[in-house]
């Protein structure tokens, strides 16, 4: 800077110039990456410690469900349960069965469901048998899944809200699509890749796997179990507080 540009007697302090060389930028990125890895490792360590405290009996309380559908009726637009899979806490298959179809299958949806005509030919389990079996197996269990309402509707069964854990409805897993701040479910595929260290399911060009999907939902739940259960404890507590006065009033009358 020349004397014409600035008088030394009246000059003000200048800000320190930060290097923006490619080397400096790379160092910043490396530090940021290490910080993110450290944070991820701490979260994983905390999760492992929390899970280590779970007894075998506690883990046995959890099951994850996923169903695959075929299309029946005109144009195959009506969905019918063709395969039901239940996995345990560790993502291992507990029950996996094909369901015999009472109506003609007009769309096997193989590109998504993975169901083939041969699968349906060898299926012996009726829908009613399947429904009863699933209802019995999930009774009093904490049921995990993604968009469970679709599976439960297809099976024509219900499950108490306080022991249902739907990863599609867990708010921290949801996102806003527009400017109205309304939360929308995210795809299981996206959540698995983002939250489970790049875990890939529902790969492009490959049919869905009920086992993979159920196991992914369980794995997602496990990453947030502690926080989720605190929220559920609060909701259950508030529900009981609301119901007690109503019960007392009914008794008095």
> What's the distance, Cα to Cα, between the start and end of the chain in Å?
91
The burial of 140, by beta-carbon neighbours within 10 Å (0-12 exposed, 13-18 middle, 19 or more buried), is given as exposed
Assigned domain for 31 exists: no
**pLDDT value of position 178:** 80
Q: Give domain status of residue 249, yes or no.
A: no
Q: Is residue 104 part of a domain?
A: yes
In a domain, 115, yes or no: yes
Query: What whole-number distance in Å separates Cα of residue 221 and Cα of residue 228?
Result: 8
- According to DSSP, the residues that pair with 86 across neighbouring strands are 65, 95
Q: Write down the pLDDT at residue 22.
A: 63
Query: What pLDDT sits at residue 18?
Result: 47
Cβ-defined contacts of 173-176 (< 8 Å, 24+): 173/220, 173/224
Looking at the domain assignment, is residue 58 inside a domain?
A: no
Dist. CA 98–CA 84, nearest whole Å: 7
**Whole-number Å distance between alpha carbons of 181 and 158:** 30
DSSP 104-154: -EEE--HHHH---HHHHHH--B-HHHHHHHHHHHHTTSEEEESSHHHHHHH
Q: What is the CATH number of the domain that holds 143?
A: 3.30.420.10
What integer pLDDT is reported at residue 205 of this predicted model? 78
Its domain, for residue 96, covers: 63-241
Any domain includes 155: yes
pLDDT for 187 equals 95
Strand partners, 176: 183
Mean pLDDT by 10 residues, the chain (253 residues): 44 48 67 60 56 86 97 94 98 98 96 94 97 98 97 96 98 89 93 94 85 97 96 93 68 53
Q: Name the domain count of the chain.
A: 1
Its sign, for the CA torsion 203, 208, 210, 211, is: negative
Give the pLDDT confidence score for residue 49 in this predicted structure.
52
Cα-based distances in Å from 128 to 42, 78, 82, 132, 176: 47, 18, 12, 6, 39
Q: Record the tokens describing residue 92, joined without a space.
A: 């291992």
Q: What pLDDT is recorded for position 7?
A: 46
For 170, residues 6+ apart whose C-beta sits below 8 A from its C-beta are: 224, 228
DSSP 208: -
| Residue 73 lies inside a defined structural domain of this protein | yes
Asked if residue 246 belongs to a domain, the reply is no
Six-digit token string for 128:
């009613």
Closest CA to 90 of 69, 114, 131, 60: 60
């Amino acid at each position: 800077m020349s004397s014409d540009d600035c008088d030394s007697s009246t000059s003000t302090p200048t800000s320190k110039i930060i290097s923006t060389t490619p080397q400096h930028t790379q160092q910043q990125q490396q530090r940021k990456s290490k910080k993110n890895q450290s944070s991820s490792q701490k979260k994983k360590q905390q999760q492992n410690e929390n899970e280590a405290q779970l007894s075998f009996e506690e883990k046995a309380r959890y099951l994850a469900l996923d169903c695959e559908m075929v299309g029946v009726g005109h144009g195959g637009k009506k969905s019918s349960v063709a395969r039901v899979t239940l996995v345990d806490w560790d993502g291992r298959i507990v029950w996996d069965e094909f369901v015999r179809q009472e109506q003609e299958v007009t769309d096997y949806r193989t590109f998504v469901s993975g169901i083939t005509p041969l699968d349906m030919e060898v299926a012996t389990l009726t829908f009613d048998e399947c429904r009863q079996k699933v209802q019995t197996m999930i009774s009093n269990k904490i049921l995990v899944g993604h968009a469970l309402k679709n599976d439960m509707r297809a099976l024509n069964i219900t499950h108490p809200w306080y022991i249902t854990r739907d990863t599609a409805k867990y708010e921290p897993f949801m996102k806003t699509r527009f400017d109205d701040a309304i939360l929308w479910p995210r795809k299981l595929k996206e959540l698995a890749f983002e939250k489970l260290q790049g875990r890939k399911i529902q790969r492009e060009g490959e049919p869905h796997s009920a086992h993979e999907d159920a196991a992914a939902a369980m794995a997602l739940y496990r990453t947030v179990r502690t926080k989720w259960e605190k929220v559920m404890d609060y909701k259950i507590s508030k529900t009981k507080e609301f119901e007690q006065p109503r019960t007392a009033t009914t008794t008095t009358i």
